[in-house]
Amino acid sequence: MPDLILIGPQGAGKGTQAELIAGRYGLGRFAPGAYYRAQVEAGTDLGLQVAGYLSKGEIVPTELAAQVLKARLGEPDAAGGLVYDGYPRVRDQAELLDRLLTDAGRGVTLALHLDISEETALVRLAGRLTCANLACGANFHLTFLPPLVAGRCDRCGSAVEKRADDEPDVIRRRLEIFRQETEPLLETYRTRGVLRVIDGEPPVQQVFLAIRNVVESATLGAGAREPRKRSVVPIDFPPSAA
Ligand code: ZN
């Protein structure tokens, strides 16, 4: 039962890779924002509680977030493992995830660090397009992954739009928050022997291939063995001229 975390700044390709991984290995996905929205739209009890905070622009409290994650872990497609996309971001969330997984007789099998330079993050995010249909939420990119029909979502046909918060200053601030709050988690997972660094700079399929190599060699040991002292790609990879 692999529970696989993707860690990386926005623009690292977590959403895209999470989808590929989930598809290939038959895993469920957990991306908090998307899951919150789905619960709100489905009108579940949790969704109603979450909506109360989101509509006021407030952070969902830890206890409620715990209930949401617990609910997700109890869904049928989570039984075989989940890919966590954009979660955990901070230490509290990492501890919560550990606690809930331990209760379920599971644990974080792999933490994949999708490593990209700040320059790459800026270039990628500046061209990012998102499906306006919240239930779909498909991502596209003006340069790297344009929709088949300009301005239209490939999946559901809704309009695609640039996110208002994908402006350079906002992006830089988010990258800084990532460095301060999320990067420290890398050390936690490294110490545990479940961290693998993946170079997130190459094209999507190449990154996915590197992930597959890691996943398929790690699954044999099911996370129980000592880590192998090798990374699949060099950590200090020069940024490609994107
Ligand atoms: Zn769509």
14 labelled catalytic:
yes
How many CA atoms, within 13 angstroms, populate the side-chain half-sphere of residue 217?
14
Residue 1 is predicted with a pLDDT of 64
Residue-level pLDDT at 19: 94
- At 202 the pLDDT is 95
**Amino acid code (one letter) for 93:** Q
- Give the number of domains in the chain: 1
Task: Return d(Cα 40, Cα 34) in angstroms, integer.
Answer: 10
For residue 185, the CA-to-ligand 1 centroid distance in Å is 32
Structural contact between residues 13 and 200, judged by C-beta atoms closer than 8 angstroms: yes
Q: Would you say residue 43 lies in a domain?
A: yes
pLDDT on residue 228: 44
Q: Which residues of the chain have pLDDT under 70?
A: 1, 219-242
174 falls within a domain: yes
Does residue 26 sit within a domain?
Answer: yes
d(CA 1, CA 80): 5
Inside any domain, residue 199: yes
Q: Which pLDDT tens digit goes with each residue over 165-215? A: 777 888 888 899 999 999 999 999 999 999 999 999 999 999 999 999 999
Is residue 70 flagged as an active site residue? no
Residue 149 belongs to a domain: no
Residue 77 counted as domain residue: yes
CATH number of the domain encompassing residue 67: 3.40.50.300
Q: Is residue 138 part of a domain?
A: no
pLDDT at 169: 85
State the pLDDT at residue 241.
40
CA of 53 to the centre of ligand 1 (A): 25
Domain range for 116: 3-127+162-221
Q: Is residue 48 part of a domain?
A: yes
